Amino acid sequence: MERTLTIIKPNAVAAGASGRILDRLIAEEFVIVALKMIFLSRNDASRFYAVHRGRAFFADLVDFMTSGPVIVAVLEREDAVARLRRVVGDTDPPKAAEGTIRRLFGVDKTQNAIHASDSAENACAEWRQFFAEEEIMIP
């Protein structure tokens, strides 16, 4: 069984879409093994997106991710990383496939509703930023 990290981003939380997004993830047979609502500090967001530091969109991304609460969750299922990325859709919501979460709830490349880790290795590093070992359910 594989695990991945998701973040329901400030625009989706503010729009009241968190419940629908979590329902969708459960319908896609992800098991939620850790979940919390938090405010990211600028330091948290800069660290999380450190790989994008220096890109033109970095400052806007940090501003946005610290603009309101987010919901972070660790999700488990077979092939979790690839499966979540498929359900989430393209970074740019208008380009995302019909029915994907970003197509349904995203606004633009920054306010794109949800994060999905891009590899199992990165997922693990990402959830360690938000969850202590004892906050993650052990099957």
The binding site for ligand CMP (CB under 6 A) comprises 52, 57, 61, 91, 109-110, 112, 115
Please give the helix or strand (H or E) that residue 8 lies within, else none: strand 2-8
Please report, as a single letter, which amino acid is at residue 78: E
Catalytic residue check, 115 = yes
Q: Which is nearer to ligand CMP, 6 or 131 (CB)?
A: 6
Per the residue annotation, which of 65, 115, 123, 127 is the catalytic one?
A: 115
Using only the alpha carbons of the chain, give its radius of gyration: 14
Least spacing, CB of residue 52 vs ligand CMP, in Å: 6
Least spacing, CB of residue 7 vs ligand CMP, in Å: 7
Q: What is the DSSP string of 28-78?
A: TT-EEEEEEEEPPPHHHHHHHTGGGTTSTTHHHHHHHHTSS-EEEEEEEET
Q: Which is nearer to ligand CMP, 49 or 137 (CB)?
A: 49
Least spacing, CB of residue 101 vs ligand CMP, in Å: 11
Q: Which is nearer to ligand CMP, 5 or 33 (CB)?
A: 5
Residues annotated as catalytic are 115
